[in-house]
Every structure is written in structure tokens, then in C-alpha cells.
Amino acid sequence: MALAGGVGAGKFLRGLVRVVPPEALTVIVNTGDDIVLHGLHVSPDLDSVTYWLGGVGGRARETFRATDELRAFGAEGSWFGLGDMDLATHLFRTRLLAEGRTLSGATSTLAARFGVTAHLLPMSDDPVATHVEVSDDAGAAFDLHFQEYWVRRGGRDEVKAVRFDGIELARPAPGVVEAIEGADAVLLCPSNPIVSIDPILAVPRIGEAVAARRGRAAGVSPIVGGSPLRGMADKLLPVAGVEVSAAGVASYYAGRGLIGGWVIDGVDQGQAGRVRAMGIRVTVTDTIMVDDDAAERLARTALDTALGDQP
């Protein structure tokens, strides 16, 4: 099974389903990024994983005509671009939820439409919202939903703290804890540690369940050569006191007893010794997923690392 954020995870999982039968794979996806826009329930990470596994990642030919119209209305929330095809996903999900389906139920219906046979589970069916506390130029503190921070304001604010609203009351979605307990291996996808993996681990019982499997758990570093390949991990890791490096992220997970193995990129080979000194297995390989073949090689390596089977 795997813990997943958005695009980095989606690419990795395309490789993983070539290594293990997709029906045997459970993916637990971050929902802290979820947001209601125009009355619609938008789940960016669930959708990224669904689209990538469904072969429509990056959705070619996507257009933004409805979003342009919403902007012309001056509609609240139209700073978030929703593609026209993507909009159908949000309309359909929102309708299923209004009919009383859980987010898990809606997720599996959507996944089936895209031909995804891996089991996709939201971390929780209960609402959790990632917020950041930032300070403006004058030093006054204010609070933003993660999407407002990142999409609306382009990540320009200095972040003081990250919070997962609703996390104390959130229950793991049905099957989540069982999937972790029963898995051959637990993989932490190359996703943002602070705003993609941490919300999942912070759901009561999920972090504990992963820690109980640490001997069979491994992650792939999302930091390559001292910076994220995309996204804002470089801005958010320091907020949690974490060095922006492959070894820094390893120590962030290992310090909480979450992983027994860690995969780093060849350019970070010099950090392998530091990671080994944390008492975890390290594999050094090419971690840049330029295509599905590269993702497959990386997934195989991650799985071997989790199982303690050093190549």
C-alpha cells in the first residue's frame, strides 16, 4: 500500500502498478487540500492520483472556459482554475455526496470511471482542511486555506505554522488502518512531507499504524539536489525545522519511527551515510520520473527497499 499526495505520487503509482497487480494495491490519499469552490467539493490530490492512474494525468486538451466565465462574474473562488473536463468530476462527486455517499464511496465510483483498479481511499471521510498561518509585510499574522496560500497568493507569504483543521475528530476512512496493517510493504510516495504526507499521518490511528509497520515501510525522497522538483516543500520544510535535503526528510520520517528504508537520488549519494546512520536502509538510484519506465524502476527499487531486499 502507499501514502500519496498529488502529482509526484500519481507518476510514481503509474510505475508501481506495473510492479504489483493494481487490484492488490491500496493507495491512501491526502484530502487536506480539499476545498469547496462554487459549491463543489474539489479533491485535488484524489483527482491527480485518479487521473494519473487512469492515463489522463495532466489532461491533454483541457480547457478553462467555465473558469473564464466564473471570473467574468467575479465569482468568489474563481482564482482557482478548474478545467472544463475536471469540472465534471467535481459536479459528479458533489452530487454523490449530496445523495449521501461518503467521500470513499464517491472516490471508488470516480476511480472506476477512469478504469483505475487499484483501491483508492481518501485518508478520511471526515473533513480536514490544511491551513497555514502567515504574516503579511507589516508582520501581522493571518490564516489562509492551503489553496489560498499556494494558488491564490502564489506562495508569496512567509509561513509560520501549518495546521490541519478537523484532524482530531477525523476517523480513518474504512479500510485504511486494515490496509496498513495487512500490507506487504508501506510506501511513502515522493510527495510533499508537510502538506501531503503529514495530514495523512496526523489522522488519529494512521500514523501509529504506519509506525507499527516501520520495518516494511520505505519512502522516496521528494527532495533531489536540495530542492523539490516542483511545489513548495522548500518553503514548508523549514517551518517544521526540517533541512531541505534528502537526508533532512529522511530524518523527519525516521525521527518519528515511520520508515525502515529511504530511496534517494544519485545526485544526493553523498548523504547516504548520514541516512544510514539513522539506522535505516538506503538505496541510491535515479529518482527522476521522466516517463513510466523510469517510474517503474523507481517503484521496484522502493518496494525492494521496503522489503529489505537491497539491490
**Is 196 a binder of ligand GDP (CB under 6 A)?**
yes
Interatomic CA distance for residues 64 and 214, integer angstroms? 43
Select from 66-74, 179-187, 227-235, 277-285 the region that touches ligand GDP (CB under 6 A).
Answer: 227-235
Residue type, 212: A
Nearest CB to ligand GDP, comparing residues 209 and 220: 220
Q: Is residue 66 at the binding interface for ligand GDP, with CB under 6 A as the rule?
A: no
Among residue numbers 8 through 27, which ones bind ligand GDP (CB under 6 A)? 8-9, 11
Q: Does 220 bind ligand GDP (CB under 6 A)?
A: yes
Q: Are 223 and 60 in contact (CB under 8 A)?
A: no
What sign for the dihedral angle of Cα 137, 142, 144, 146? Answer: positive
Short-list 56, 30, 55, CA closest to 44 = 30
Least distance (Å) between residue 48 CB and ligand GDP:
6
Out of 3, 31, 35, 45, name the contact with ligand GDP by CB under 6 A. 45
User: Of the two residues 74 and 121, which places its CB atom closer to ligand GDP in the complex?
Assistant: 121
Q: Identify residues 45-104 at the interface with Ca ion (CB under 5 A).
A: 45
What is the chain's alpha carbon radius of gyration, rounded to the nearest angstrom?
Answer: 19
Query: Rounded CA gap, 2 and 21, in Å?
Result: 13
How do beta strands 223-224 and 227-228 pair? antiparallel
Q: Which of 224, 237, 259, 282 binds ligand GDP (CB under 6 A)?
A: 224
E-assigned strands of the chain?
2-4, 26-29, 35-37, 40-42, 119-122, 129-135, 141-145, 158-165, 186-188, 217-220, 223-224, 227-228, 261-265, 281-285
Q: Does 33 bind Ca ion (CB under 5 A)?
A: yes
230 binds ligand GDP (CB under 6 A): yes
The residue among 138 and 290 lying less far from ligand GDP, judged by its C-beta, is: 290
- Establish if 6 lies at the interface with Ca ion (CB under 5 A): yes
Residues that bind Ca ion (CB under 5 A): 5-6, 33, 45
Residues that bind ligand GDP (CB under 6 A): 5-9, 11, 45, 48, 190-192, 196, 220-222, 224, 228-231, 233, 287-289
